[in-house]
Amino acid sequence: MSVQERFLSSVDLRSVPTLSTHVLVLGSGVAGLSAALAAAESGEVLLVTKDVSSESNSTYAQGGVAVAMNEGDTCEEHLRDTLRAGAGLCEEDAVRALVTEGVERCRELVEWGTAFDLEPNGRISFTMEGAHSRRRVIHAGDCTGREMTHTLLERVHTHPGITVLEKHFVVDLLHHEGECYGALVLDLTYGRMLQVEAAGTVVATGGLGRLYRETTNPEVATGDGYALCYRAGAVLRDMEFVQFHPTTLYLAGAPRFLISEAVRGEGAHLLNLAGERFMPKYSVEGELAPRDVVSRAIFREIHETGATHVCLDLRHLGKELIDRRFPTIKALCADYGIDICEDVIPVRPAAHYMMGGVKTDLQGRTGIRRLFAAGEVASTGVHGANRLASNSLLEALVFGHRAGSEAGGFEKASRFPLKQLVRVLKSRAVNLDIDDMLRSLVALTWRDIGVFRDGEHLSSAERTVQLWERYVLPEQFQARKGLEIQNMLTVAKIVARSALLRTESRGAHQRKDYPDTDEKWLRHTELKFEDFEK
């Protein structure tokens, strides 16, 4: 009997009320909203989110959207920059779809009223970000994600064919013999279970940043979608490639607030505590090197100087530019007594984005019939080993739309397998402090599965997480925190195993015991449920 089977019981779906929809979308970030709008062209859509619909990783995205719309720029140049950043593991057909269809999707957003920043002549303003060869990032101040989700949410909430269920947690996908029929959902307000039957299901639940002690991600980013698809039998690909954003606010007691890549794109400098610029000694691109290069350089500088952080210096950019481009960052720092026009900002890297995820094709298909994935939870092949700055919102737009359109093309199954038994968490009397468990988990991942890795610590982390899985069962599974930590444990062991398998350093994956890039690893890692249950 497997570990999962020993600690999971079953629910007979015949005892659970049923909702029926044409397409079920899980998640309310840019990918989920885009999927819902596209699917609504074919039939009714139910969008389920575990929090309020405005709470997602997308909402917190600051920098902007990379898109080849600037004068003189081309999709081919955008493609080349993306492939270069991906360290050999991008799928070129996926990147081509991203950069070409991205133009259409962004123009659509403009038509819908998204307030991107404009130049005095009325044209869209473009900025520079790391590893881009041109100024191609469009933005809405330093809260681009919030502006985009606001536009998309307005259209979703006013669409007659889309219904939104907030504060509903997806416990498990309804699947049988390689086919998905919807999801088992828990109403977090009233504690009631609900089964949702659908012709197509799109998982767009975002990332896993909260798996780490230091992260830019909001509390909703607990990796639920990866765990759901893994339990349903989907392939998880390249889960070792966790991107650590180089610059997050580092103050005791303060949240690890993201200091956007766009700040360095506009000319900010990174300084050590002696006030010296250090990036030029690590890369000819200086502060505009790819994120993995900058993150590792900062950690090396911290190690060499014995400091806890480095500093980001905007002072030379001038008050006018700072006020116009970075009002949110300025206001947040001011809350902690930092005037970014006069003071440097203490920063260090934090977990930010998962480049890997649920393996999909170009239409978002997962390999499980009727099940699709889009956005950060998906591995489309766009990002490779290291995501190019500001490609994430573009990917969510393009592949969310593709997945929603494809899911909408399915007809309802002729027979829903009502006798199917779905695994859910077993309730039992056990004295566990879930908050302490969470603190222990995020400390473990930060230490052993962080920026710098080695085989000994990765193996130890995987063994520890699998041990915790045996007894970490909340007293009542009808609670969001308990469900989330179960998913986080599942995802943590997958990230550890994936990082252990890749015996090289490439992109965001840095092995101290295998410091070089190895051409034999110019391929993907793939893991399924069966790989842990042999």
Catalytic residues: 291
Locate 201 and state its tokens: 């299901």
CB atoms within 10 A of CB 507: 25
What single-letter DSSP state applies at residue 388? P
Coil, strand or helix at 225: helix
Residue 483 CB partners (closer than 8 Å, separation 6+):
169, 171, 186, 224, 425, 477
Tell me the torsion sign for CA atoms 14, 18, 22, 28. negative
Contact call for residues 198 and 179 (beta carbons, < 8 A): no
Locate 291 and state its tokens: 């994120």
- HSE-up of 219 (CA within 13 Å, CB side)? 7
Q: For residue 398, give the nearest of 365, 375, 378, 379 by alpha carbon.
A: 375
The string of DSSP codes covering 319-372 is HHHHHHH-HHHHHHHHHTT--TTTS-EEEEEEEEEES-EEE--TT-B-SSBTEE
Please provide the distance, in angstroms rounded to a whole number, between the alpha carbons at the two ends of the chain: 10
- Token pair 């955008």: residue: 78
